[in-house]
Structure 1
Amino acid sequence: MLEEKRFLVVDDLVMNRILLCEILDSIGCKYEEAKNGKEALEKLLKSKFDIVLMDIEMPVMNGIEATREIGKNQSKYNNVKVIGVTAHDPNRFASDFEAVTFDGFVTKPYTIQRLKVAIDNLFPPKV
């Protein structure tokens, strides 16, 4: 099922993108990369993605701002699912999250298991 999904990996740190992309490669997923929220929104307008793995803290446009924009214009962005990615406790950003809806969270350091759990929660098996 994951092999059918297209991912957009959004992180300002190259090493974090490389690590996430290696995990996605290992499970046979297709993906593209963006280095900030602004670039992510531009890519979302040009191509269809199923899931965005969105870092929270980035320059230019952070993950909260980008996810807020996606939430306001879901149809414009093909109803993409957004998983927030952070090295910090997500509760640290609780006040920022009030106006933003992430579809899931993954904390760093990444593991295949954590990523699969977050994705599986977005697409429960059909009965």
Structure 2
Amino acid sequence: MTSASAECANGRPLRVLHVDDDPMNLRVVQEILTAFGHAGVMACSGQEALEHLSTEVFDVVLMDVHMPGMTGIEVVERLRASLGPARNTPVIALTADVLSRRPQEYAALGFDDFVSKPILVSGLMASIHRAASGVTPGRRLSRVG
């Protein structure tokens, strides 16, 4: 783990659930997480994400917004409405659709932050570390990219 990632992650690797219906996006983000010393778990659907969240603990969830079947927004709604401890897990929206929603709208939907696609490594890692360290209280958002 690099010193920057150790400092931001309070000296420990993070456990990150990445949800995306695109296998290439899953692979790219997995490579980024691994390069920074974090453990990534991949899910290719909203239902699979909810199953992971019901049985495993994650520091952060990276959630594609537009997926077939159950959208990322629906997953976050269900997660936030659940009674388990996972309901408070920070969730970062990953979306190429940054022009149609303002940052405050993602907050109102239950996301803690968002990262635009195509993903820039620096923006993704900054968002992950902010969310994992609780720097996004009240689901306050800032645009990163």
- TM-score, normalised to structure 2, is 0.76
Match of 1:100 among 105, 109, 123: 109
Match of 1:67 in 2: 76
Deviation by residue 1:69-88 (Cα, 9 ceiling, x = unmatched): 11112634262110000011
Distance in structure 1 (CA, Å) of the matches to 2:53 and 2:80: 13
The aligned counterpart of 1:115 is: 124
Count of residues paired in the alignment: 124
1:34 has 2:32 as partner: no
Distance, in Å, in 1 between the alignment partners of 2:48 and 2:73 is 14
Asked whether 1:53 is paired with 2:62, we answer yes
Aligned-partner SS, 1:40? helix
Consecutive unaligned residues in structure 1, runs of 5 or more: none
- Name the % identity: 36
Task: Read off the aligned partner of 2:36 and give its amino acid letter.
Answer: I
Change (3 A) 1:98 1:78: closer
Tell me, in whole angstroms, the C-alpha distance in 2 between the residues paired with 1:99 and 1:111: 24
Partner of 1:61, secondary structure, is coil
Runs of 4+ in 1 over 3 A off after TM superposition: 96-99
> Any gaps of 5 or more consecutive residues in structure 2?
1-5, 136-145
Q: Is 1:6 the equivalent of 2:30?
A: no
Classify the secondary structure of the residue corresponding to 1:105.
strand
Q: Is the 8 A contact 2:80 2:87 kept in 1?
A: no
